[in-house]
Amino acid sequence: MTRPRADGRRVRGERRRAELIDAALRVIERDGVSGVTHRSVAAEAGVPTTSTTYHFASLDDLLVATLTSSAENMAADIRDSIESSRIKGASPAAAVAHMLAEAVGPRRGRTMAEYELYLLAARRPALRPAARRWLDVLTSLARNPDEVGFRAFLSGVDGLLLQGLIDDEPPTAAELLPVVEALLAPLR
Amino acid sequence: MTRPRADGRRVRGERRRAELIDAALRVIERDGVSGVTHRSVAAEAGVPTTSTTYHFASLDDLLVATLTSSAENMAADIRDSIESSRIKGASPAAAVAHMLAEAVGPRRGRTMAEYELYLLAARRPALRPAARRWLDVLTSLARNPDEVGFRAFLSGVDGLLLQGLIDDEPPTAAELLPVVEALLAPLR
DNA sequence: AATTTAGCTGAACAATCGTCCCAATACCCT
DNA sequence: AGGGTATTGGGACGATTGTTCAGCTAAATT
């Protein structure tokens, strides 16, 4: 499998590989996981069809790489969002509610893609470590990660996102705020 | 859903339609939504291939019917489960924890299927009413459905199920119990 | 009994799928 | 500069897909 060496060789291929992963994520946002084919991803990336088969042994490998990358991005986004809310002095609940509203509103497609990949991990054990990645990131931000209340909070966030995706009208931050506060209440 | 006409005509066809829906659900449990094809469903039901195209105008229609049926079944299961736990005198938290452990343990395949259909509803507005069905059922069981704490509880249940599906080792009722209690605490 | 109708089925279609193969190219190391 | 290897690109293969269609069986109607 294409892996950059310590001496810096073989960098060219890694770039295209990354472009294919990004293209795959865009395809999933637009058409869902079922829309991912060698051809659709290659077309989205603007490269020949067989480029996908060269860089990824199978379609499955491409999905694994995409979920891994996606989880990493999501983790970084969450970290940034919480960081910036801390700087602006907003309450934790308000920061979380705002983030959730973004996720089910403007970033809806992205959130759908991430949960489809998330659910895919339920069927393919190879994907599970990557799927658990963002839970780990959130956990690392907690003051007391082992606390039962924190697990309840994390579950609530997952549920709110999932439910927000099947609302005809995505919930606003104002609507989400009291629920987030209820989930956060046992933690203080 | 399967409904004989007043004059008794056209009962046979409705039966086969229901069989196809059940077969589709079994296929989703086994291979996921992506495994649903006209041929795989027909084979699972033990009927000729084109029987699926005769009873459902398109594959999409079959998925819509399957989700609708599945949501109805799940709603009935939850109702029964809560009923029986009330009779046995167990605490609500213990009953919920037990139900969740069943869902991510022995009934794992079924739960995966339901969440895949659930997530499918995020992309197809036509599926959303059916997807919201089981939330409605749970809501109808609540003493005070509008309460914020109850929404938090429902979200937490969704999240616990989703997270339980990507665990290598499904959580036990004993492990889930304290989290469920934390989610339930604000409600009393 | 004859005929109409609903229900069902097998064969076949074009389209798309994943993947393989081979030639052309770009890059690195000696 | 030259040889070797990683990468790219086009074409093609067999398999599977959703769907169509004409013909079949059995029941309902007359």
The confidence score (pLDDT) of residue A111 equals 94
User: pLDDT for A152-175, tens place per residue?
Assistant: 999 999 999 999 999 999 999 999
> Is the model more confident about A149 or about A188?
A149
What's residue A151's pLDDT? 94
pLDDT of residue A12: 61
Instruction: Give me the pLDDT at residue B11, please.
Output: 56
Query: A144 and chain B: CB distance < 8 Å anywhere?
Result: no
- The gap between A45 CA and D8 C1' (Å) is 14
Q: What is the mean pLDDT of chain A?
A: 88
Residue B145 pLDDT exceeds 80: no
- Please tell me which residue, B149 or B14, carries the higher pLDDT value: B149
At residue B2, the 3 state secondary structure works out as coil
Name the class of domain A65-187: mainly alpha
Q: Is A106 touching B (CB cutoff 8 A)?
A: no
CA distance A48 to B173: 51
Which of B128, B151, B166 has its CB closest to that of A179? B151
Mean pLDDT of all residues in B102-117:
94
- The C-alpha atoms of residue B114 and residue B25 are separated, in whole angstroms, by 9
Residues of A in Cβ contact (< 8 Å) with B131? 166
A188 touching B, CB under 8 A?
A: no
Is the CB of B188 inside 8 Å of chain A's CB atoms? Answer: no
**Mean predicted confidence (pLDDT) in B144-161:** 92
Judged against a pLDDT cut of 50, whether residue B41 lies above it is answered with: yes
Q: Measured between CB atoms, does B162 come within 8 Å of chain A?
A: yes
Q: What is the pLDDT of residues A100-110, one digit of tens each?
A: 999 999 999 99
Give the CA A48 to C1' C25 distance in Å: 15
Which nucleotide C1' is nearest B57 CA? D19
User: At residue B90, what is the residue type?
Assistant: A
pLDDT band at B12 (very low <50, low <70, confident <90, very high): low
Q: Give the model's pLDDT for residue A27.
A: 97
**Is residue A115 less than 8 Å (CB to CB) from chain B?**
yes
CB within 8 Å: B159 and A163: no
pLDDT bucket at B8, cuts 50 / 70 / 90: very low
Spell out which residues of chain B touch residue A131, defining contact as CB-CB under 8 Å.
166
A3 has a pLDDT exceeding 50:
no
Assess if CATH 1.10.10 describes domain A1-57.
Answer: yes
Q: By the CB < 8 Å criterion, does A119 face chain B? A: yes
User: Over the stretch A24-81, which tens digit does the pLDDT of each residue have?
Assistant: 999 999 999 999 999 999 999 999 999 999 999 889 889 999 988 988 888 888 788 8
- Residue B115 is predicted with a pLDDT of 94
Full DSSP string of A82-128: HHHHHHHT--HHHHHHHHHHHHHTTTHHHHHHHHHHHHHHHH-GGGH
- Does the domain at B1-56 match CATH 1.10.10? Answer given as yes
The domain locations on chain B are: 1-56, 60-187
Which nucleotide's C1' sits nearest to the alpha carbon of A50? Answer: D9
Q: Look up the CATH superfamily of B60-187.
A: Tetracycline Repressor, domain 2 (1.10.357.10)
Residues of B in contact with A116 (CB under 8 A): 119
Please tell me whether residue A46 adopts helix, strand or coil conformation.
coil
Nearest residue in chain A measured CA to CA from B104: A122
Q: How far is CA A63 from CA A7, A13, A24, A25, A45, in A?
A: 29, 18, 8, 9, 15
Cα–Cα dist A173/B161, whole Å: 24
Q: What is the average pLDDT value for chain B, to the nearest integer?
A: 87
Q: Which residues are within 8 A (CB) of A104 and not within 5 positions of it... i.e. 6 or more apart?
A: A111, A161, A164, A165, A167, A170, A171
Is 50 exceeded by the pLDDT of residue A147?
yes
- Average the pLDDT over each of A4-13, A55-64, A133-142, B136-145 and give the range with the smallest value: A4-13
Q: Which bases in strand D are touched by protein, i.e. have an atom under 7 Å from a CB?
A: 6-12, 16-21, 28-29
Per the CB < 8 Å rule, is B112 touching A128?
no
- pLDDT-derived band at B142, boundaries 50, 70, 90: confident
Q: A with B: how many residue pairs have Cβ under 8 Å apart? A: 112
User: Integer distance in angstroms from CA B58 to C1' C13?
Assistant: 17
List the single residue in A116, A148, A149 with the smallest CB-CB distance to B119.
Answer: A116
Q: Does residue A6 surpass a pLDDT of 50?
A: no
